[in-house]
Amino acid sequence: GENVEQHPSTLSVQEGDSAVIKCTYSDSASNYFPWYKQELGKRPQLIIDIRSNVGEKKDQRIAVTLNKTAKHFSLHITETQPEDSAVYFCAASNAGGTSYGKLTFGQGTILTVHP
Amino acid sequence: GAVVSQHPSWVICKSGTSVKIECRSLDFQATTMFWYRQFPKQSLMLMATSNEGSKATYEQGVEKDKFLINHASLTLSTLTVTSAHPEDSSFYICSAKRWGEGTDTQYFGPGTRLTVL
């Protein structure tokens, strides 16, 4: 099955700095890569996603890059703000396969943005 | 649109009792629902995939006789934790894929905090 590794486990930055979180996946059939933000005790919120036919996607301060050959993808947050502080999870799935697009999550990154 | 609810939001029960958690898609039909478990400071671990009208598909290591899943309609899936024990205490989250949307997006419920005494 799929295995997703996420690094770093914790990340501390100053407000205004950039933050980068990286994930690798093992199953070359995976073709959908979402990123979620989760605050304590809350549901995961989709912040951006990318599909395997695209190498990069950007939404305001958030961007995701995908390298299919190397099987890794990264989340980039620019101009970080204290409200960006949360746990971030990457995930991978084979959206068109027989597994109904089940997600395999990375271990999570605790991002802390200091004012 | 695409709202998923869970009930209850939290539950405390005694060891040995059974607890049922409901997951509803409020404004869309969901052909597939997923159940996850999240222990404190850990990631989401998929427990099972639930398709309407079919038996659930459980992930390796998840006891199907202990975690009963029923997906009787396109808007409701239930997870019953049978004979719950303290080690079953966790945050249980469901997600749903919208039928006919043709995308990969999963919409997550708010989660249910289960505490077994």
Mean pLDDT of B79-102: 90
Tell whether the model's pLDDT for residue B92 goes beyond 90: yes
Contacts of B104 in chain A (CB under 8 A): 32, 34, 49, 51, 93, 95, 101
pLDDT on residue A87:
98
pLDDT on residue A32:
92
Terminus-to-terminus CA distance in chain A, angstroms? 41
Determine which of A6, A105, A110 to mutate to test the interface with B (most B C-beta atoms within 10 Å).
A105
pLDDT on residue A52:
86
**CA A25/CA B113 separation, integer angstroms:** 30
Q: Does B104 touch chain A (CB under 8 A)?
A: yes
User: What is the DSSP-derived secondary structure letter of residue A93?
Assistant: B
A41/B104: higher pLDDT? A41
Would you place residue A13 in the very low, low, confident or very high pLDDT band (cuts 50, 70, 90)? very high
**A&B contacts, CB < 8 Å:** 54
At A65, list the tokens: 């890059």
Tell whether the model's pLDDT for residue B4 goes beyond 70: yes
pLDDT on residue A94:
87
Chain segment B37-88, per-residue pLDDT in tens: 999 999 999 999 998 888 899 999 999 999 999 988 889 999 999 999 999 9
**CA A48/CA A58 separation, integer angstroms:** 8
Q: Does A52 touch chain B (CB under 8 A)?
A: no
Please give the C-alpha separations between residue A15 and each of A20, A58, A81, A83, in angstroms, as whole numbers. 14, 20, 5, 10
User: What is the DSSP-derived secondary structure letter of residue B26?
Assistant: S
CB contact under 8 A, B104 and A108: no
Q: Which of A3-7, B6-10, B51-55, B84-88 has the lowest mean pLDDT?
A: B51-55
Would you place residue B31 in the very low, low, confident or very high pLDDT band (cuts 50, 70, 90)? confident
Angle (nearest 5°) at CA B102 between B96 and B103: 60
Chain segment A89-115, per-residue pLDDT in tens: 999 998 776 667 889 999 999 999 999
Least Cα separation, residue A98 to chain B (angstroms): 11
**CA A74/CA A10 separation, integer angstroms:** 15
Tell whether the model's pLDDT for residue A78 goes beyond 80: yes
Mean pLDDT of B90-115: 88
Interface of B with A in 1-30 (CB under 8 A): none
Q: What integer best gives the mean pLDDT of chain A?
A: 94
pLDDT on residue A58:
96
Mean pLDDT of B86-115: 89
Cα-to-chain-centroid distance, residue B70: 10
pLDDT on residue B55:
87
A112: which strand partners? Answer: A12
pLDDT on residue B100:
67
